[in-house]
Amino acid sequence: MESRNYAKLIEASKSAHEKWRLVPAPQRGEIIRNFGNEIRNQKVELAKTITEEARKIVTEAEGEVQEAIDMCDFATGLSRQLYGLTMPSERPDHRLQEIWQPLGIVGCITAFNFPMAVFAWNFCLAAVCGNSIIWKPSPHSNKCADALKNIWDKVTQEHKDLVIVLKGGNEEAVAICEDKNIQLVSATGSTQMGKELAPIVAARLGRTLLELGGNNAAIICPTADLDLTVKGITFSACGTTGQRCTTLRRAFVHVDIYDQFMEKLHGYYASLKIGDPSDESSQLGPLISESSFNTMQSILESLKKKDVVVHGGQRLEVGDPKEFYVMPAIVEVSEIEEEMLNETFAPILYVKKFTDLKDAIHMQNNVRQGLSSSIFTNDFRESELFLSSEGSDCGIANVNIGTSGAEIGGAFGGEKDTGGGRESGSDAWKAYMRRVTATVNYGSELPLAQGVEFDES
Ligand code: UN1
């Protein structure tokens, strides 16, 4: 990377922020609304670009564009709701108040699997809050980045540099992390990536917002509606060919319904349509790369060596022969295997029996990651336990829904090795701002807080 070019981009981003922060938030919201409307107009073409690059099936690609549109709508609404609290002051004739101000430049590093939505989560919030953004997309999805950047430029020439796309790989990601001009680095990717990048930002006391690996589990209880459950489990485990951070990787099934559940699950898996993602009937496209395929195979091989029962997982001769289509794997385990503790970015679902719900919750939580979790039950005592402080330790906890496919309205992110960041809905916008506590004295005396006296007498 040419450092002179990089410096120019940063300068442009800084000036864009300095101009943009003066635009009243509701007017910023209006421009973001126009951005959303143009994305709406181009929904089908944008989805095609996602399918072309990330190899997502049509309905998921369109769903992803919809997620970006929803974020624009959300940010437009937020533009009139960037509320600061007012607290009662302990001093007479004083006002105590919080004011939220933009940070400056937000660095945004995104992964191949959500090449538009995760940018939208970050950009829409960063922008409505008054920041500019430097976006480093995954090298797999540069066209997706270009497509959104072109729409932004079309919507506003004046604030064009509010979005700057910095294409590249590790070197560019490190440059963003090292750069003290970038107040917040929001990064989505593996835990390994987060562990490498976060210390670089921390060394300059910068802020990070991390959305890293998941190792999501579902607990299936005896009262669960099994048809609904199997559908939810299959979508979460196989959707996006197992390449979502929210993909379901582990299922704990109550012993009383285990056989019945497994029979239905195998039946559902056998009916999956795997093939060219641009063919509307396909439910699963290929893995993103040969190296993903190799990683998946080596995990399955190491399980087979231990005589663990592995169903599926093999390469399929469908679609383009240069690509890697697989039968999603179901792995039946009788004890916790080492392989289950790590996130393999491929459709491998581990299934284990349980008898006691508290044990199942313990197994679910007993991994380093903490993104998403689900319980399938019609017994409210079980679902309430799952949602209590003794329950799931994840950032996302669902009842009778799979682990993936969150709506934008909630805060998105997870605990432990998932990185602790929250993006998208609720009050996640606060991460993109700095909080100013302002005390205003409108009286003619100068009383000090905590009753401190500082008079000459
Ligand atoms: C990701 O995989 O990084 O909840 C994001 C979901 C999607 C977002 C996934 N809305 O599955």
Nearest ligand 1 atom to the CA of 247 is: 11
Which ranges in the chain are annotated with CATH 3.40.309.10? 216-399
- The closest alpha carbon to 18, from 101, 125, 120, 83, belongs to 101
Going from the C-alpha of 302 to that of each of 83, 247, 299, 311, 369, the distances in angstroms are 53, 21, 5, 14, 22
pLDDT per residue as tens digits for the range 292-304: 999 999 999 999 9
- Asked if 245 is an active-site residue, the reply is yes
- The protein residue whose alpha carbon is closest to atom 3 in ligand 1 is 245
The per-residue pLDDT for 1 is: 75
pLDDT per residue as tens digits for the range 25-34: 999 999 999 9
Spatial contact of 270 and 225, defined as CB atoms under 8 Å apart: no
Distance 118 CA to ligand 1 centre (A): 8
The per-residue pLDDT for 3 is: 83
Spatial contact of 141 and 118, defined as CB atoms under 8 Å apart: no
Q: Which residues line ligand 1 (CB under 6 A)?
A: 67, 113-114, 118, 188, 244-246, 404-406
- The protein residue whose alpha carbon is closest to atom 7 in ligand 1 is 405
Q: What is the mean pLDDT of residues 282-288?
A: 98
pLDDT surpasses 90 at 447: yes
Q: Other C-beta atoms within 10 Å of 408: how many?
A: 23
Locate 74 and state its tokens. 């959300």
- The closest alpha carbon to 286, from 167, 112, 170, belongs to 112
Rounded Cα distance, 323 and 306, in Å: 29
pLDDT per residue as tens digits for the range 119-157: 999 999 999 999 999 999 999 999 999 999 999 999 999
pLDDT per residue as tens digits for the range 368-390: 999 999 999 999 999 999 999 99
Nearest ligand 1 atom to the CA of 407 is: 10
> In the CATH scheme, what is the code of domain 216-399?
3.40.309.10
Phi, psi of 385 (to 5 degrees): -60, -45
Q: Other C-beta atoms within 10 Å of 160: how many?
A: 15
The per-residue pLDDT for 456 is: 72
The per-residue pLDDT for 455 is: 83
Nearest ligand 1 atom to the CA of 412 is: 4
Rounded Cα distance, 390 and 331, in Å: 28
Which of 71, 119, 212, 412 is the best mutation target for the ligand 1 pocket, counting ligand atoms within 8 Å of the beta carbon and taking the most?
412
State the Cα angle at 349 between 140 and 141, rounded to 5°: 10
State the Cα angle at 371 between 116 and 70, rounded to 5°: 35
pLDDT per residue as tens digits for the range 52-100: 999 999 999 999 999 999 999 999 999 999 999 999 999 999 999 999 9
Rounded Cα distance, 415 and 41, in Å: 37
Q: In whole angstroms, what separates CA 297 from the centre of its chain? A: 26
Distance 242 CA to ligand 1 centre (A): 11
pLDDT per residue as tens digits for the range 159-211: 999 999 999 999 999 999 999 999 999 999 999 999 999 999 999 999 999 99
Q: What is the mean pLDDT of residues 306-331?
A: 97
Nearest ligand 1 atom to the CA of 239 is: 11
The per-residue pLDDT for 33 is: 98
The per-residue pLDDT for 2 is: 79
The per-residue pLDDT for 115 is: 98
The amino acid at residue 392 is S
Going from the C-alpha of 104 to that of each of 210, 292, 321, 425, 427, the distances in angstroms are 18, 37, 47, 21, 19
Tokens 């809050």 belong to which residue? 129
Which of 122, 244, 403 is the best mutation target for the ligand 1 pocket, counting ligand atoms within 8 Å of the beta carbon and taking the most?
244
Distance 443 CA to ligand 1 centre (A): 52
Distance 245 CA to ligand 1 centre (A): 6
pLDDT surpasses 80 at 442: yes
> In the CATH scheme, what is the code of domain 3-212+419-438?
3.40.605.10
Could you tell me the pLDDT band of residue 395, with boundaries at 50, 70 and 90?
Answer: very high
Distance 113 CA to ligand 1 centre (A): 8
In the set 211, 339, 343, 382, the catalytic residue is 211
E strands present in 298-410: 309-311, 329-332, 348-354, 369-370, 372-376, 396-399
Which of 245, 369, 373, 418 is the best mutation target for the ligand 1 pocket, counting ligand atoms within 8 Å of the beta carbon and taking the most?
245
Distance 269 CA to ligand 1 centre (A): 22
- The protein residue whose alpha carbon is closest to atom 6 in ligand 1 is 405
Locate 110 and state its tokens. 């995104």
Q: What is the mean pLDDT of residues 322-335?
A: 98
The amino acid at residue 245 is C
Nearest ligand 1 atom to the CA of 211 is: 3
Spatial contact of 365 and 377, defined as CB atoms under 8 Å apart: no
- The protein residue whose alpha carbon is closest to atom 1 in ligand 1 is 245
Distance 353 CA to ligand 1 centre (A): 27
The per-residue pLDDT of the chain, averaged, comes to: 97
pLDDT per residue as tens digits for the range 243-277: 999 999 999 999 999 999 999 999 999 999 999 99
In the set 72, 108, 238, 245, the catalytic residue is 245
Which ranges in the chain are annotated with CATH 3.40.605.10? 3-212+419-438
Percentage of the chain beyond pLDDT 70 is 100
Distance 413 CA to ligand 1 centre (A): 9
The per-residue pLDDT for 386 is: 98
The per-residue pLDDT for 457 is: 64
- Asked if 445 is an active-site residue, the reply is no
**pTM for this predicted structure:** 0.96
Rounded Cα distance, 291 and 307, in Å: 25
